[in-house]
Structures are given as structure tokens and as C-alpha cells.
Structure 1
Amino acid sequence: MTPGRGLGGGPGSTDTDAIPVTVLSGSLGAGKTTLVNHLLSNAGDRDIAVLVNDVGSVNVDYDLLSSDDLPAVGVAELSNGCICCELRDDLERAVVQLADGKEFDHLVVEPSGISEPGPVASQFTTGPASARYRMDAVVTVLDTPQFIDAFAGEETPERRGDADDDAARPLSDLLVEQVESADVVLLNKADLCDDAEIAEAEELVRALRPGVETVRTEHSAAPLDRILDVDLYRNRDRDSDDAHDAHGHDHEGHDDHDHDAHDHAHPDEVYGVSSFVYRARRPFHPERLVGFLSDLPESVVRSKGTLHVAAVDQRLQHSQAGPSVRVEAVGPWVAAMDESDRELYRANRGDDADWHDEWGDRHTELVVIGVDLDEPAIRQRLDDCLLTDAELADGIEVDPAEWFPVASEVNEEAAVVSLS
């Protein structure tokens, strides 16, 4: 068994027995799941296990990460809540079960985009999980253009809400929290910024977290030696005058984030974030769906999931963060396969629970996350994008390549399209 692998921790154990943990932090759509994909695809000799948390009842990120194409030793999911508060006990159970049932070298924890990283990290320094694991680093992934938009021109970014006020605090406060808690900050989507903007982003980050490691990335492709096995969580700022951030918060040993579960408010309550899941079997009309995706309500901060589009035999994976909208073809619907291949696939799978008599496995399952969402209005707009009874009966004359995805920027090999 390699050092740091398997059943580490416990009384009398050494740090080399404990499994190192990297907690990922970052706003909705910043690129955390893309980073996990990158880590797994480039793990080399490392065996990496993953725990992914999503705020909605459908864990889209788990579905992506549990693909057979990614070499994760184990993937665990916690859905419909955040692991920094209401799912804390579930987190402890899940990571202990992972250590009991698998052998791996590193655990990567991807909380939801509205989680505060401090309370998540603290669960690996106290309680049952601390007997098996040791915190290696908190890595915060920034959507750099979004971060600059939120704080450009400020010498020292500050929280804008009142923690003692019952009113919801702005999401920019959560960005501050996520940077202040970081050992490493990835300035992601750096390709969308010029040199001056990147320099300003670095200054803003260091104003919040003096001395923090920063890495410029595109598509979250960070060097693994900058974020794994770095042992920064315990060692940062111990002998530095930078142990206090610009607001006087003491970061040494992360004591400022070791909250008791009962003292920690749910982020959805603090920041006014809510979510819902839209499901449909009937396909979308390509033109109407593109119109909706190109004109999302400002209240929608993040949306992601699977789309069933008429005349498209591919399962389409949708991902939106702020103004950025991407759609990727991730493989054919089983119902679109040749009959022999379809029957063989279904026989091997042995599960007809998700099979529809008319549509087979074709379906839409879309998670919508935002602030002050008008859920009925958004649901109605999505319903209006579906084919009507007349269109279903008579068919539609449409070239999906013309309307969906929009051919503003197409990567033919990856079948990825940007609508932003």
C-alpha cells in the first residue's frame, strides 16, 4: 500500500498514513467540475477518489464524473443541499465509507457553488473523518471575468452585505469568502481576459488573501503539482505577518472557519439562492430553445443538464454560467441506435426504469439555479419551447444544424458550441 493510501489516521498514526484531501471552492460555473475532469484525466500513478455535492436534487456533476471514460477510483455524491451545513453528517459518513471500501491516494471534494469552503475543510480536521484524512489544500476556482466585473476598481474587495441583517447577502460576499479561505486560487478563463485584467485580478485576490498561491488557467487546466500534495492547509501563514487578511480575519490554522454546525446558516438562506429541476420527455423545438438560451433571465446564475432536442439524435449536455452558454454532444440516445445495438445495450444494462414507451431514453433534465427566481415564469418559457401537439403530429421542417446549436463558434471535433 502506498503512503497516504487506504485506512489512514487513527490513534498513533502518522501523517503519511492519512489520505490527503483537496477541497475545491468557487462560484457557480467557475470550472470546478472541469478541474476534476482534468485531475482525473492526468492523474498518472495517483489513484484519486471524488466526492461531489450539488445544491439541486439532480446531481449533474456526479453523472459527468461517474462516466466510464474517467479513471476515478470511487465517486460519491451528496445532492439536494450543501455539505457545509445541512449535509455535514452525510459527508462524514460518505468519506469514511470511501476509505473503508476503496484504496486511493487522494480525495478531491467538490462542494456546490454556493458552499463556503471553511466549514467543509474543517470536517477533515475534527471528527470521524480526521482519523482517516488530512487536509492538503483549499483550491478556489475563479471565473476571472466575473470576479473582475464584481470588484474592478476596488483596492480591497469587501463584503457588501451585513452578516447580522436578515436580508439576503449578495453573491459577491460568497466570492470574498471563497478567496479568503483559499490556499491556491486558480484564475480560470484567463483566455477571456487581457494582461491588464489578469494583473488586476491577481492584485484583488492578494488584497483578500495576502501571500496566496495564484495560477492562471484556461479550462481549469492547472498543473497537478500546484494543487495536489502541496500540504498548504496547515503550513500557510504560520510564520508570516500575512496571517491576517485585509479585514483583520485570522486565517492561521483556519480557526475562523471551524464553525459548529448549529452556528452555520445555510448559504441558500444567506445569499438568497434557490434552484429547481425542469423535466420533460417531449422534445424542444430547436429554434425556440436557442431563443430561450440566448435570452436567459438575469436571475438565472447557473443552469446545467441534459436536453432533448427534436431532430437531434445526440444527447446534448447544457452548461450555463452567467452570460456563458455551452452545449456539448456527449453521445447518441440509446433510442436512436440501430435496433440490434439498442436491444443489446438495454439487455446489458438490465434497467428499464428510465425507458419511455414513446421516447425511449430521450429526456430533458435541467437544473436551474439563481437568485430571486421566478420559477413559474421560467417553467412556462421552457414549456413554450417544446413541440406542440400539431408539430408532433405533422412533423417540423427544421435543420437542427442551422438552429441548434447556434453556429457562432463551433468545435467540430468536440461538438461544443458557445452561445455567448
Structure 2
Amino acid sequence: MNASGGTPVTVLSGALGAGKTTTLDHLLTNADRRLAVLVNDMGEVNIDAELVANRTGNVTELSNGCICCDLRDDLEVEVSRLAREREFDHLVVESSGISEPAPVASLFTTGAASAPYDLDTLVTVVDVSTFRGTVEGGETVETDAVARDRPGRVEREGETRPLGELLVAQVETADVVLLNKCDLVGDDEVDAVEDLIRSLNPRANLVRSEHGRVEPAELLDSGRFDLDTVSETDAWKHAVAHAEGEFDGEGGHDHHDPATEYGVESFVVRARRPLDPGAFADFLRDFPEGVIRSKGIVWLAGEDEHSYHVEQAGPSRRVEVHGRWIAGLEESRQEMQRRMHPDLDWDEEHGDRRVELVFIGKGMDEAEIRERVESMLVDPDAVVTAHPFPTEADETFVA
């Protein structure tokens, strides 16, 4: 138990087959404390739970669903029950291969389990032999999709998603990334995967392993969890800073230049004019080659009140309503918000309205991408004839 009194929690995420259960088995064998284990599996039969049950009797199964969405209530019930029993020193949650860490983390930071527990480490296990191919490829994962009537729009939750997009989300949220199966590839490939992951998440601690063998102290009571890692606003700031070469945190990477050795590079495109919505939709459909990951916030012509959030990972491009521009609020609320956010990037003419896009990739043509984005910029009062993007928070545009 940590100094604040709550039981520490490690959340173990990663794609199917990355080695989460093997890593968990290693922890159960080598940890110097009593572990409680909660294992989530999408299937009706929780094979992972059966495997680790041989190591410890304190195993809880959550099967036939995902704990970040449809089994969330069950997760709350089980962690509360475990907290009452207090027969362990550390809780390890192994999520399913299609779970995102952030919703699970929120249960232990602001949800029902925030009092008896303290989130200690978010771990993502990566299979270095398949990671780059998956992120850049088109393999998808299925959930219970409910499509909208209009083409290109789907429900925010419950949809078919590219597996690469999910892997990127798991990596970007992690405090520790376990580069597993290093024995299956050469050092050059491990280095290339490591540099790509550092570009996606410069703050994470990267640990190389074979067969899930890792020092328990790297994953248990590491104290690495930072709420900023699951805060979209802070994560975005770090992505921008890293793309501009300003990041100098603990996860800094200075032993060689990834752009020189492996071609992984990043840059930011900024503008204080809105994008033509129709042209931007065409840009997303005909996306530049070499871009592995991009994200950002955009100002669309004709939408002076709402900002839009752009997410791309591999072949998937998504746009959602992000929130309200502070510049679109009444003057008294603007002043209050500006006092609350003294570091806000504010323009005297346009306020916080802006285009800000980060591009991360390999073999990108930066000049061409900048030129394409700049060609879509229009005057703030331009007449918009096509607007394919959502206007409600529960809709998503998918290119």
C-alpha cells in the first residue's frame, strides 16, 4: 500500500497476442507482494483468467465484454468488492486486447474506485514483431456498431475500428511501454519500433523484454502515473511540444536522431484562418502518404462557435465536435475563461480559434502537406457550400 493510503493499481493493456498474460504470469511468479488480479476477456470463456488462476487464488474474471464500455459497471462492482476484502497489496487489471486504457484509468482517478485505490502505472505491452505493420495496416476490430443514416458518420462508441488506431491509443496513454518479443526481430527493428513509440508518447518509460520477463518494480509501485497522460488537453500539448522539438522530459530521446536513422519525424501545421469544410473532408479521404499518426484541433469555416478534434492512426481518419471556442462565448465568460487559462494561445482578432495539426510519420512530404493545408484556408466570413462534418457531440465523421 502506498503512502496516500490507497491500494496501488497497475492497468495492463495491449493488443491481442502482445504478451499481456505472459507478463502477468511473470509478475505473479516474481513479485514480492500479494497481488489481486482482475482479468478481462472479450470471449465467453476467459482463458487468460484460467491460466493465471494457477498462480494465485485471488483472480476475478470479467468475460464476454470490454471493461472500458459494456462491462464498466461490472468492473466497478468487482474492484469495490476487492477493496472491502483488502487481502492483497497491489491490484493488477489486465484489460482485453480491444480496451482503451483511459476509460479504465478514470475509474481509479475520478470514479467509484478513486477512494480505496491509487492508480500507479498504466502499462501497454507491444509486440515489436508486428507493431509497425499493424499501425500502418488496415486490420480492424469489431464492436457492436450502430451506423448513422448519413454516409461517413457512425456512433462515437460501438463501431468497427482499425486495430492500428487502438494500438496507438494504448501507447499514447501509457506510463510504461513494454517492448515485448524482442527475441523475434533484430535490433534494428526494435530500435525502429522504439523510435516510433517515442514519437507517439515521448513521456513513457520504454522497457525491452522477451517472453514478458520484466523486473516487477518497473510495473508495480513505479509511481509513474500522471493524470496528464489521460488528459486530452495535456496530451495534446505534449504532442505539439514534441513535434516542435521542445520536449525535454523524462522520456526524452537523445542517443540518436530517429528521423535520420529510421525516418520517423513530426511537424506541426498552424493557421489563424478557418479551413473550408468540403476541401478538408476531401483531404481526409485522400490522405497524404507516409503519415502514421496525426491529431489536432481545427477551425472550420461557418463554425465560429464549435471547435473540431481530428484523429488519425494508420488508415483511419475521424473528426468529432471538440467543444466551444472561448472566443465564441459572451464577453464576461470569455474573461473568466482567459483568467482560468493564462497560457491560452490568444489572438486579438480571432481569439483561440485556430488550426493546429500534428503529423507523425515516415517518408512524409512536409512541404506538400503544408501546401495542401494552406490551400484549404479561407477567410473567416467565407460562404460555405459543403459541410459534411457532425454538429452534435455524439456523432463522428469517419473518412
- Shorter-chain TM-score range: 0.5 to 0.7
1:56 aligns with 2:43: yes
1:38 to 16, 19, 26: 26
Q: Which amino acid in structure 2 is aligned with residue 59 of structure 1? A: N
Q: Deviations over 1:65-112 (max 9, x none)?
A: 111xx1x36111111100001111110110111121242110000011
1:103 aligns with 2:91: no
4+ runs deviating over 4 angstroms: 235-238
- Decide whether the 8 Å contact of 1:185 with 1:213 is kept in 2: yes
Q: Distance between the aligned counterparts of 1:43 and 1:65, measured in 2?
A: 14
Q: Which amino acid in structure 2 is aligned with residue 49 of structure 1? A: A
1:244 to 237, 241, 248: 237
1:169 deviates by 2.5
Q: How many residues align?
A: 225
Matching residue of 1:141 = 125
Matching residue of 1:217 = 209
1:180 aligns with 2:172: yes
Q: Which moved more, 1:190-199 or 1:142-151?
A: 142-151
Q: Give the % identical residues.
A: 53
1:24 to 9, 12, 16: 12
* RMSD of equivalent CA atoms: 3.0
1:74 to 58, 62, 66: 58
Residue aligned with 2:108, SS: coil
1:227 aligns with 2:215: no
Q: Distance between the aligned counterparts of 1:144 and 1:214, measured in 2?
A: 12
Distance 1:128 1:97, change over 3 A: same
TM-score, normalising length: structure 2? 0.52
1:203 aligns with 2:190: no
Q: Which runs of 5+ in 1 are unaligned?
A: 5-14, 154-163, 250-269, 271-420
1:234 deviates by 2.4
- Decide whether the 8 Å contact of 1:139 with 1:184 is kept in 2: yes
Distance 1:49 1:237, change over 3 A: closer
Matching residue of 1:132 = 116
Q: Deviations over 1:303-341 (max 9, x none)?
A: xxxxxxxxxxxxxxxxxxxxxxxxxxxxxxxxxxxxxxx
Q: Which runs of 5+ in 2 are unaligned?
A: 138-151, 243-315, 317-399
TM-score, normalising length: structure 1? 0.50
Distance 1:57 1:235, change over 3 A: closer
Distance 1:102 1:211, change over 3 A: closer
Q: Distance between the aligned counterparts of 2:73 and 2:135, measured in 1?
A: 35
Q: Distance between the aligned counterparts of 1:120 and 1:237, measured in 2?
A: 13
1:121 aligns with 2:105: yes
- Decide whether the 8 Å contact of 2:182 with 2:209 is kept in 1: yes
